[in-house]
Amino acid sequence: MAASFTAAADGVEPVFSKAVPIAAGFTRPMVISSRTAQGACTGAIGACVVVNREGWILTAGHLLELVRAHQESALRHAGYRGNVVEFHRDIAADRRFRRRGVPTLQKPAEASVRNHSVWWGIDGARLVEARVMPAADLALGRLEPFDPASVERYPVWRDPSRVDGPGRSLCKLGFPLHRIEPVFDEKANTFNLPAGSVPLPLFPLEGMFTRVVNTRAPGSGDGEPSAFIETSPPSLLGQLGGPLFDADAVVWGVQSHTMHHALGFRPPVPDGRAGQVEHQFLNTGLAVHAAVIRRLLDAEGIEYRAEE
């Protein structure tokens, strides 16, 4: 995808003008299409980082967990439909018994997902050998098939010992501020993305590195805390799973989730009811720390480019 940038009025290049085109080459979309039993279709957008020539990618763990939840729901629907068909094929059953029996089958809720698919920016590609680190909200997998030549420069991962200096400007990249409403084709049993919805527009967002936070991702249970790089402001929806990088396009982390910090202010709601107050928060973004990512890649024996 071509990108052009305009120099500042004084002739000084913007901070990330060289880094964004590089990061754009290894940042791919993740479009999760789903259809409920009622027929309503939705499209959720995330991002992923291509790690190496073998097609290994990293993304936010909760995105992959959403895909798994959709898959389990679709299997329940398929099982229910299969049971209904089998039940009606039992010609030995009394007709009145069949009429009574069908409602007793465990029918999935109408709002549950019946069909789903994931598009990784590559037609026909699927994710294999996938795994999730819940506490770090980090997912790893390999795209298949994958063309190594599709990425000009693979990411360089920050030396964890050099993740320092609060106040450093970092950049987030992904596919926010964009909507996709997929259409399900009953005959082909597949989702189609409407004309004009792809390619997805990339959107960079600058953020200040504030600190390193040791915590667990929301909903991850009681696992060991993981290290996250905090930035202000947070990532936008559609950027989660994408890279957090510096002006040299060196990747410091993978965007994960947003933290909400209560400020302790409770001003009255304008034109609200008597005694009604607002709870004000400061939102910051958390990205999985390069140290966590590099440990995972090392443990899995996955090749990557490390900062020297």
User: Is the dihedral angle over the CA atoms 230, 243, 237, 146 positive or is it negative?
Assistant: negative
Query: CB of 227 within 8 A of CB of 289?
Result: yes
Write the CB contacts of 12 (distance below 8 Å, at least 6 apart in sequence): none
Label residue 276 exposed, middle or buried (CB < 10 Å: 0-12, 13-18, 19+): exposed
DSSP per-residue letters across 192-224: EPPTTS-SPPPEEEEEEEEEEEEE--TT--SPP
pLDDT per 10-residue tile (average), the chain, 308 residues: 49 81 97 94 97 98 94 79 52 50 63 92 94 94 97 96 86 96 93 93 95 89 86 94 97 94 83 82 93 96 95
pLDDT at 91: 44
Query: CB of 281 within 8 A of CB of 261?
Result: yes
Q: Is 262 helix (H, G, I), strand (E, B) or coil?
A: strand
Specify the pTM.
Answer: 0.84
pLDDT at 81: 60
